[in-house]
């Protein structure tokens, strides 16, 4: 049994059995460079060794899919010869260690994933999770993360058009920062990451290489979070202005057909980018680290290979095109140097001063990492503490105002106003005006809608049903602006998968994502897995985040959430409200296992009906029912429109059962609050009856109060008070 006498592999995150496997593959012990390369490529962050088998369950093919999992980003056909590329990724542990740079470089990394395909980034969305706001640490992380996102996106000129922010105690020590990017490309000019052409040159483009980010993938993203200040060197430092030059340079090079392949240098730096390109192309690559431009002259070969310095890309170029490529890079003031060549060896060789300092089969680095079977075990009790913040005797009026003021539900205007949401002049629907962002595509004559959703608390209550709800809510948000989903991306944020209860959560959540996506006919075109989101204080809520891109032909028909005086209001869909796992249950300290089930097919039918009616222009407003239940959804519509609501939910109580309180504040999938002229909603109800979709007329818009009754419960508050509560969340 060959085990390193110094156990250096353990310090790099490799187990003894993994080290033994490396020795078998190399037929010798690895040297320091090779061991560093294996440690990163075999890390959880790069190899997905605890999740890859589960991900095979996800549907990945569809008629509009142009690029699926395995590329830098997924891409779907949007017509007229164009494609939309998109992906979501996490930068959780770096943001917990150094929130400004962690969040900023998270945005920079996801931008590079998209323009690596040849797609110009046109939008960013973010999904954020922090501890409760009474925590000084959570307020600090929130402020710096929002600042980092705004700094990078605003500086590079890409609008941040949507997102979500949740505040829950389990994220106190391990915040989540997930960033999604959407880009537009000519479909026939997109490029893949596969290296090809023996004798072609490998060029390093962009910034010089430093020690920042060394070990970022294995140290920060492949083990439970610990430490703090001593881990700051593992966090990359971003420069959005350098990235802007790099992006424009790469897009021009691709548009002119000067590159064979292009790959982002993200996690594991040169090691992952070169090995993945070689693996995809079935070739070998020789890299000369002494040719790499350095910020610090004394860097060792292993440091150069694993550095995660930002704003760098790896390109494959034919020798005859080198002059044109270098001239283009010089014009954009972007660094470019040939550091290697494509070979027919099937090996990744690292050379310094023409001496081989690292040599490993590409297949061993990429394909031979052991994949582990999870050992799931359902927990017998609720795993997360939850303390009440509402007094037991609170009545309906107080409940509504408390829910509207709850940080997870309240307006996030202070945050998104720090982002430029309209740069590039594509944005039709801005944050909080509609359930999904809408971007016009003049190139195709149409538009797309994008949304990102997830609720870790509900997934913690029931991983399968909670994950199903995440997909359905995102699809409902698209339907509210008249968009049909084209493709899905996801970011799976979970704790330590080696623990049975986390394995159970991950297993059931992935199955929920798979079943919901398949039932909606939506392909999963890519995503990210972020595990080990856990500290000594415990794991985060299991948090699968879902991003969808949808298509709509006329952006002018995209509905907002604002109702108008005199509108009739209806509830559409199989919405069966329950207080289980709800925001109200959280405020009462009454969380536990279990969520009510929902028919995915019934929700799908409601989604299709609402989408058709929004596209027809016959609805004034459409808003999905989610956090805080129907009462909060109606309040948000009223606040947006500046007009009160009078509603009677007795018909919902009769149809679904339960208490009046649960009908006011209960949550669940499949509910839409829609508004429009009363005669139109009458026609909608008739169509719904024919198609088996429930449509209940529940009220009208008017006055200056929110007056909502449901059996024994009744809300009656001035609209101004509701708006004050909803707008109460300010800068941390």
For residue 211, the domain's CATH number is 3.90.650.10
Name the E strands within 391-537: 427-429, 437-441, 446-453, 484-493, 524-530, 534-535
What's the pTM? Answer: 0.96
Q: Which of 445, 450, 439 is nearest to 485 (CA)?
A: 450
Instruction: Tell me the CA distances in angstroms from 353 to 12, 176, 292, 356, 581, one per residue in order.
Output: 26, 42, 12, 8, 61
Given 319, 345, 371, which residue is the final one in a domain?
Answer: 371
> Would you state the structure tokens that stand for residue 200, as one six-digit string?
């072609």
Residue 229 makes CB contacts below 8 A (sequence gap 6+) with: none
Residue 301 makes CB contacts below 8 A (sequence gap 6+) with: 33, 289, 350, 352, 357, 358
CB-count exposure of residue 269 (10 Å: 0-12, 13-18, 19+): buried
491, 644 Cβ separation under 8 angstroms: no
**Is 428 part of a structural domain of the chain?**
no
pLDDT score at 229: 44
First to last CA, the chain: 55
* 67: number of Cβ within 10 Å: 22
Given 333, 351, 371, which residue is the final one in a domain?
Answer: 371
Beta-strand pair 347-352/355-361 = antiparallel
pLDDT one-digit tens code per residue, 127-142: 999 999 999 999 999 9
pLDDT score at 328: 98
Total structural domains within the chain:
2
pLDDT score at 83: 98
Task: For residues 42 and 36, give the distance between their C-alpha atoms in angstroms, rounded to a whole number.
Answer: 10
pLDDT score at 231: 44
pLDDT score at 452: 98
pLDDT one-digit tens code per residue, 158-191: 999 999 999 999 999 999 999 999 999 999 999 9
**Is 387 part of a structural domain of the chain?**
no
**Is 93 part of a structural domain of the chain?**
no
pLDDT one-digit tens code per residue, 30-49: 999 999 999 999 999 899 99
Residue 576: enclosing H or E segment and its boundaries? none
pLDDT score at 386: 86
**Is 625 part of a structural domain of the chain?**
yes
pLDDT score at 1: 42
**Is 286 part of a structural domain of the chain?**
yes
Full residue range of the structural domain in which residue 713 is found: 559-732
pLDDT score at 393: 87
| Share of residues in the chain with pLDDT > 70 (%) | 96
Residue 178 makes CB contacts below 8 A (sequence gap 6+) with: 88, 89, 90, 91, 92, 126, 127, 128, 452, 491, 493, 528, 530, 545
**Is 290 part of a structural domain of the chain?**
yes
CB-count exposure of residue 679 (10 Å: 0-12, 13-18, 19+): exposed
DSSP at 237: -
Q: Left (φ > 0), alpha (ψ -120 to 50) or beta: where does 121 sit?
A: beta
Q: Which of 489, 662, 433, 475 is nearest to 573 (CA)?
A: 475
Task: For residues 75 and 85, give the distance between their C-alpha atoms in angstroms, rounded to a whole number.
Answer: 4
* 588: number of Cβ within 10 Å: 18
Q: Which of 215, 21, 68, 183 is nearest to 114 (CA)?
A: 183
pLDDT one-digit tens code per residue, 586-644: 999 999 999 999 999 999 999 999 999 999 999 999 999 999 999 999 999 999 999 99
**Is 91 part of a structural domain of the chain?**
no
pLDDT score at 564: 97
Q: Which of 50, 91, 151, 623 is catalytic?
A: 91
Residue with tokens 């509603």: 647
DSSP at 43: S
297, 212 Cβ separation under 8 angstroms: no
Residue 583: enclosing H or E segment and its boundaries? helix 583-587
**Alpha carbon 393 to chain centroid, angstroms:** 39
3-state secondary structure 509-523: HHHHHHHHHHHHCCC
Residue 91 a catalytic site member: yes
Task: For residues 308 and 272, give the distance between their C-alpha atoms in angstroms, rounded to a whole number.
Answer: 10
Average pLDDT of the residues of the chain = 94
In DSSP notation, 484-515 reads EEEEEEEEEE-S-TTSHHHHHHHHHHHHHHHH
Task: For residues 231 and 194, give the distance between their C-alpha atoms in angstroms, rounded to a whole number.
Answer: 33
pLDDT score at 232: 42
Task: For residues 360 and 346, give the distance between their C-alpha atoms in angstroms, rounded to a whole number.
Answer: 9
Q: Left (φ > 0), alpha (ψ -120 to 50) or beta: where does 462 sit?
A: beta
Q: Which of 45, 151, 288, 508 is catalytic?
A: 45
* 438: number of Cβ within 10 Å: 29
**Is 542 part of a structural domain of the chain?**
no
Residue 92: enclosing H or E segment and its boundaries? helix 92-97
Task: For residues 293 and 310, give the distance between their C-alpha atoms in angstroms, rounded to a whole number.
Answer: 13
The per-residue b/e assignment along 142-161, b for 16 or more CB within 10 angstroms, e otherwise, is bbbbbbbbbbbbbbbebbbb
Mean pLDDT split into 10-residue runs, the chain, 732 residues: 62 91 95 94 92 97 96 96 97 93 94 97 98 96 97 96 96 96 96 96 96 61 52 71 97 96 92 96 98 92 93 98 98 98 98 97 96 95 91 94 98 94 93 96 97 98 98 98 98 97 98 98 97 92 98 94 98 97 97 94 98 97 98 98 98 96 98 98 98 98 98 97 96 88
Given 355, 371, 387, which residue is the final one in a domain?
Answer: 371
Instruction: Tell me the CA distances in angstroms from 97 to 94, 142, 156, 729, one per residue in order.
Output: 5, 13, 24, 25
Residue 173 a catalytic site member: no
């Amino acid at each position: 049994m060959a085990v390193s006498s110094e156990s250096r592999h353990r310090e790099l995150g490799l187990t003894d059995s993994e080290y033994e496997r490396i020795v078998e593959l190399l037929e010798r012990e690895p040297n320091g460079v090779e061991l560093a390369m294996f440690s990163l490529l075999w890390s959880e962050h790069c190899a997905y060794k605890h999740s890859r088998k589960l991900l095979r369950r996800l549907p990945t093919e569809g008629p509009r899919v142009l690029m699926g999992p395995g590329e830098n980003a997924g891409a779907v056909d949007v017509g007229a010869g164009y494609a939309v590329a998109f992906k979501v990724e996490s930068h959780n542990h770096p943001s917990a260690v150094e929130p400004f740079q962690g969040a900023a470089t998270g945005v920079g990394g996801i931008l590079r994933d998209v323009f690596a395909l040849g797609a110009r980034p046109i939008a960013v969305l973010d999904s954020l999770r922090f501890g409760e706001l009474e925590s000084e640490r959570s307020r600090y992380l929130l402020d710096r993360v929002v600042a980092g996102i705004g700094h990078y996106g605003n500086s590079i000129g890409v609008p941040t058009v949507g997102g979500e922010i949740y505040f829950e105690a389990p994220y106190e020590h391990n915040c989540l920062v997930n960033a999604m990017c959407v880009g537009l490309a000519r479909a026939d000019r997109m490029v893949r990451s596969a290296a090809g052409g023996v004798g072609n040159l490998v060029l390093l483009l962009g910034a010089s290489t430093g020690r920042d980010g060394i070990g970022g993938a294995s140290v920060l993203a492949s083990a439970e979070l610990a430490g703090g200040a001593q881990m700051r060197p593992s966090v990359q430092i971003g420069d959005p202005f350098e990235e802007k030059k790099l992006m424009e340079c790469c897009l021009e090079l691709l548009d002119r057909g000067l590159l064979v392949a292009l790959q982002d240098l993200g996690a594991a730096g040169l090691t992952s980018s070169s090995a993945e390109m070689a693996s995809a192309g079935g070739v070998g690559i020789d890299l000369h680290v002494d040719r790499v431009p350095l910020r610090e002259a004394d860097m060792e070969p292993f440091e150069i290979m694993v550095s995660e310095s930002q704003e760098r890309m790896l390109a494959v170029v034919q020798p005859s095109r080198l002059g044109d490529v270098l001239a283009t890079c010089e014009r954009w003031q972007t660094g470019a140097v040939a550091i290697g060549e494509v070979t027919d060896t099937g090996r990744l060789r690292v050379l310094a001063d023409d001496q081989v300092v690292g040599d490993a089969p590409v297949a061993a680095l990429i394909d031979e990492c052991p994949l582990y079977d999870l050992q799931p075990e359902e927990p017998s009790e609720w795993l997360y503490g939850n303390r009440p913040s509402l007094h037991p005797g609170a009545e309906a009026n107080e409940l509504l105002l408390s829910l509207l003021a709850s940080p997870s539900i309240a307006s996030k205007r202070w945050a998104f106003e720090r982002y430029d949401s309209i740069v590039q002049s594509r944005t039709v629907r801005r944050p909080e005006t509609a359930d999904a962002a809408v971007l016009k595509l003049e190139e195709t004559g149409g538009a797309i809608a994008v949304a990102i959703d997830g609720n870790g608390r509900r997934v913690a209550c029931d991983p399968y049903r909670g994950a199903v709800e995440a997909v359905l809510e995102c699809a409902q948000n698209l339907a509210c602006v008249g968009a049909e989903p084209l493709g899905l991306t996801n970011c799976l944020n979970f704790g330590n998968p080696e623990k049975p209860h986390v394995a159970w959560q991950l297993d059931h959540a992935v199955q929920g994502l798979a079943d919901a996506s398949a039932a909606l006919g939506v392909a999963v075109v890519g995503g990210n897995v972020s595990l080990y989101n856990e500290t000594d204080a415990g794991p985060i809520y299991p948090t699968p985040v879902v991003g969808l891109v949808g298509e709509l032909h006329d952006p002018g028909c995209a509905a907002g959430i604002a109702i108008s005086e005199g509108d009739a209001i209806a509830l559409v869909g199989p919405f069966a409200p329950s207080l289980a796992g709800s925001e109200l249950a959280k405020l009462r300290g009454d969380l536990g296992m279990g969520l009510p089930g929902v028919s995915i097919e019934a929700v799908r039918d409601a989604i299709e009906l609402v989408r058709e009616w929004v596209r027809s222009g016959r609805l004034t407003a459409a808003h999905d029912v989610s956090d805080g239940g129907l009462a909060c959804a109606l309040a948000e519509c009223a606040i947006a429109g500046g007009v009160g609501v009078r509603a009677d939910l007795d018909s919902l109580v009769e149809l679904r059962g339960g208490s009046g309180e649960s009908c006011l504040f209960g949550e669940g999938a499949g509910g839409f609050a829609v508004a429009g002229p009363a005669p139109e909603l009458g026609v909608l109800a008739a169509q719904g009856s024919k198609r088996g979709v429930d449509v209940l007329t529940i009220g009208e818009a008017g006055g200056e109060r929110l007056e909502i009754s449901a059996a024994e419960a009744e809300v009656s508050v001035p609209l101004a008070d509701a708006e004050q509560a909803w707008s109460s969340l300010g800068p941390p």
